[in-house]
Amino acid sequence: MALRLIVHAGFHKTGTTSIQKALDTHRAYIADNDAIILRADMMALCEAARAYSVSRSPLDLGIVQYEASVLAEAWPDAGAVLLSSEDLSGHMPGRRGLRTYVAAPSLARAMADTWQAACPGIDIAFVYTTRPAAPWLASCHMQHLRSTRMTLSQDGYAQAFGASADLDGVVVSTRAALPHASVHSLALDDTMLLRLLTWAGVPEQLHPKLPHRNKGEPEEMRAALRDINLSDIDDAAARKARRALLQRKG
């Protein structure tokens, strides 16, 4: 039996954190012959993918291929390996000047080509979790407010970054770029984890439940974070103020 590789490569703000928490919590039970590889286990590859999404340079894509080959050195000859990190599609749109996931198809192709060369006969499936445009843009906006000096309003963000919400379009482009690997999309719901594990061949009795997803921040939190970002304090003070606000909420 050939090695089966399932690559959950994104997207940000589509339930990925809940999936990864469940995988991490239960990995001792579900990873008998099925390797679970999360961001902390492949940090170099994730950082290389993020760098390429910004630069789009052949050199950085070569680093992605190198890190992918290093990762594959420890894989078994048979069984299943499940990778999960949204960073495999690059930075979230809105970071580092990015407007869309334009780099995602090239990243997937580079990784797939590398793994197929390193592991002859490997069966590769890329999986992308998706979400309707309006709630996805709202969630991304909140994430930027929490972690960057984002000053756009929610409506302003949706107008400026509306094109980034075409996640299904990115999946279609990635599928076209990968003639020798399968590409799937999963809409955000409570069956995502089960379907990922089923593809990996994990017995149903070992499937953990998906943790409750983040319900999102209240609108007053969105307004308070934006007020901090719009203030005239320096970036370090703004980070400290956002952290204090979020800790009080928690």
Q: What is the pLDDT of residues 122-179, one digit of tens each?
A: 999 999 999 999 999 999 999 999 999 999 999 999 999 999 999 999 999 999 999 8
Give the span between the Cα atoms of 136 and 139, in whole angstroms. Answer: 5
98 to each of 53, 92, 198, how far by Cα in Å?
8, 8, 34
Q: Count of CB atoms within 10 A of residue 217's CB?
A: 18
Q: What is the pLDDT of residues 70-83, one digit of tens each?
A: 999 989 888 889 99
pLDDT on residue 215: 59
Q: Residue ranges of the domains in the chain?
A: 3-134+164-210
pLDDT on residue 73: 93
Give the span between the Cα atoms of 55 and 61, in whole angstroms. Answer: 9
Listed in sequence order, the residues at least 6 apart from 247 whose beta carbon sits closer than 8 Å to its beta carbon are none
| Burial classification of residue 133, based on how many CB atoms lie within 10 Å of its CB (0-12 exposed, 13-18 middle, 19 or more buried) | middle
Q: What is the pLDDT of residues 10-54, one digit of tens each?
A: 999 998 988 898 888 878 777 665 688 999 999 999 999 999 999
pLDDT on residue 247: 83
pLDDT on residue 210: 67
Both structure tokens of 82: 């499940």
Position 214 pLDDT exceeds 70? no
CA dihedral 214→220→225→226, nearest 10 degrees, is 120
Could you identify the residue written with the tokens 């991490």? 24
Q: Does domain 3-134+164-210 have CATH number 3.40.50?
A: yes
Q: What is the pLDDT of residues 221-236, one digit of tens each?
A: 888 899 889 999 999 9
Position 90 pLDDT exceeds 60? yes
Position 95 pLDDT exceeds 80? yes
Q: What is the pTM of this model?
A: 0.88
CA angle (216, 130, 70) in 5-degree steps? 105
pLDDT category of residue 217 using cuts at 50, 70 and 90 = low
